[in-house]
A and B are shown apart, each in its own frame.
Chain A
Amino acid sequence: MFRLVKRSEISRKKSIVIRLLAILLAFTAAGILLLTLDLNPLEVYASMIKGAFGSAYRVREVVIKTVPLVITSLGIAIAFKMLFWNIGADGQILMGAFAASYVALNYGDLPRFLLLLLMFVAGALGGGLWALIPGFFRAQWRTNETIITLMMNYVALKWITYLQYGPWKDPQAMGFPKIPNFTANAVLPKLFGVHVGWLIMLLLIVIIHVFLNHTKKGYEIAVLGESENTALYAGMNVKNTIVSAIFLSGALCGIAGMIEASAVSNTLSVEVSGGVGYTAIITTWLGALKPLVILLVSLLFAALLQGGSFIQTAHGIPESTALLLQGMILFFVLGSEFFIRYRVILRKE
């Protein structure tokens, strides 16, 4: 009937076209789902676009949602490049936010710049050390990191819940379980209407791009991802590379947590990660582990999230529609990669 031939090379243009077609197909498939609910998919998509870009305020909201998504994706990309399946980004975000909040709540009177710098370092350490635990086990005993990183998300979540309902509860909140707000000095300043996190994001994109493509460590990570035996044969210190790369991966997620706690919620809460750690897994993969592509994909997904919460109020469609759509986009793009790697040739009888 037909046979498959591995493509030797594919033009960049062609592979981009295939991926875009996949995304289009995903929207079509989701549209059929919306039709079954007696909703006009074109109307829904149009109002999603309106919800994401319809006003200056909404565009700012999209940027605010893009920032943690990109920074977390950068962290995940480092791990994935090494074939270390870090799906614990959510927990690393929470622990980064926790460490930064510890600084903010206890040393809130420090000068602004110093305080923010300390929070930044604390956030990176919090996320990095949390990721170091599964990284150490993987390097030492090849323990399955997928499940451990995920289990640690739940542990981190329970830990923050404990703090929020217990020792860190704001005594002035009339019994409402919330952690006190940060002092003004602990809140990231704004630049062009959006908190300065977007500038940090752009800087990190450049830094990680250079790190992955133009440094020795970045090269070692790539080799390790391709083949551990090659890495060993080349005389690399595999354990050291795993552990340091995972620390960096978690540190980036921790930085995202610090930014969210400081600039967006102005305090620590169980909602500080907002599921970013999971969405970032998709954006990382769709971004082909490349920092610049990750930025583009994250913008699309942030718009999808913002548009998703808009259609909930406008059409009464569940917010989880956005999640469903994300899953479908990922399915179709994963499937489309087959057509990037192989050519289908029909056999004539």
Chain B
Amino acid sequence: MTVSFLAAAVVAGTPLLFATLGEIITEKAGNLNLGVEGMMLMGAVSGFYVGVTTNQPLLALAAAFLAGAGGALIFAVLTISLRANQVVSGLALTIFGTGFSGFIGQKLIGQVVPNNLKAFFKPFPFPLLNRIPILGEVLFSQDMFVYLGYAAAIVIGVYLYKTRLGMNLRAVGENPAAADAAGINITLNKYLHVLLGGALCGLGGAYLSLVYVPAWQENVIAGRGWIAVALVIFAAWNPYKAVIGAFLFGGLDIIGFRIQGTGFPVSLYFVDMLPYLATIVILVITSMKKSRENVPPKGLGVSYFREER
């Protein structure tokens, strides 16, 4: 019971993990993109549409990746090149993404993921690691998407903390003027990471529509994009901590079904509030204790304009 619950929490947390990692990269470049929900919806609908029409799982993934990056491109042009307000641009992207997914998705309502794709995204034991007691069952008997999530977290962690390019990126987010003076191409750096971040959000969305549900449902993301934005703060912009946060919230997401099964006397609607309430509580607590590691990149949310230094 507990092991199956934990394994299910990992599955429910995987879309959050992708989106959180995406937003971490974006924010590390100094861009606060509040369009995560919109980019996830764009990825979810594009991945699903291409998956259903072509029956090719890899094409579906590519479509979700590109759709997320496409949404991020709009945000990047507006905030990096045209220096528009980041908060409002992100909100606009969420509204646009909601419209986009409704527009494309209307003909998809009720459609189910073809068996070919279901088989491709079926859980399989990860060689060797699945033999670890308990952990093997919880973490390493999952589908390839989940493994991809682990890999993404590790790759991003190494990139940020152990490579020169990652250091450049952090410099861009912390002090763009200094990074510019050091010869780092600010615009290129910001564009690349905002786009990559959006692509990861798109993949997270596609996990929901292609594997988690797996059928088309309007507004399939249901606020998870916003929870991911909060998880970035919870994880203190650290990709490894993002894994823990995402799975914790995955657990909160599914706890309702489990509690219902036990006959515990609590209304389902209150249990449904849990992830949202927990997000609020976590944000308040992190803001109360101001530790040094919990501060966002210094240049976050501010457009950089060389001539205005």
Contacts and interface: CB of A to CB of B under 8 A. Distances in A.
Given A150-B226, A326-B95, A161 B288 contact: no
A161 B269 contact: yes
B76 to A, nearest CB: 12
Interface in A146-161: 146-148, 150-152, 154-155, 158-159, 161
B185 to A, nearest CB: 16
Interface string B66-98: 000000001001100011110111011101111
Contact of A323 (B87, B99, B226, B284): B99
Contacts of A146: 34, 87, 229
Given A325-B99, A335-B82, A147 B279 contact: yes
B92 A331 contact: yes
Contacts of A159: 269, 273
Contacts of A324: 96, 99-100, 102-103
A278 B102 CA distance: 16
Contact of B99 (A87, A137, A327): A327
B280 interface: yes
A101 B123 CA distance: 49
B273 A154 contact: yes
Contacts of B226: 147, 150-151
Interface residues of B, number: 45
Contacts of B287: 137, 141-144
B91 A331 contact: no
Contact of B74 (A85, A142, A161, A331): A331
Nearest to B288: A141
Contacts of A323: 95-96, 98-99, 102-103
B307 A166 contact: no
A319 interface: yes
Of the listed residues A154, A326, A338, A341, the one surrounded by the most CB atoms of chain B closer than 10 A to its CB is: A154
Contacts of A85: 87
A337 interface: yes
Interface in B244-282: 267, 269-270, 272-273, 276-277, 279-280
Contacts of A155: 273, 276-277, 280
Interface residues of A, number: 45
B233 interface: yes
B87 A326 contact: no
A281 B98 CA distance: 15
Nearest to B271: A158
Given A158-B269, A285-B88, A337-B84, A144 B95 contact: no
Interface of A: 4, 6, 85, 87, 137, 141-144, 146-148, 150-152, 154-155, 158-159, 161-162, 165-166, 278, 281-282, 285, 318-328, 330-331, 334-335, 337-338, 341
Given A323-B95, A334-B84, A334-B89, 8 more contacts: A159-B273, A281-B88, A320-B106, A322-B99, A330-B88, A334-B78, A334-B88, A335-B77
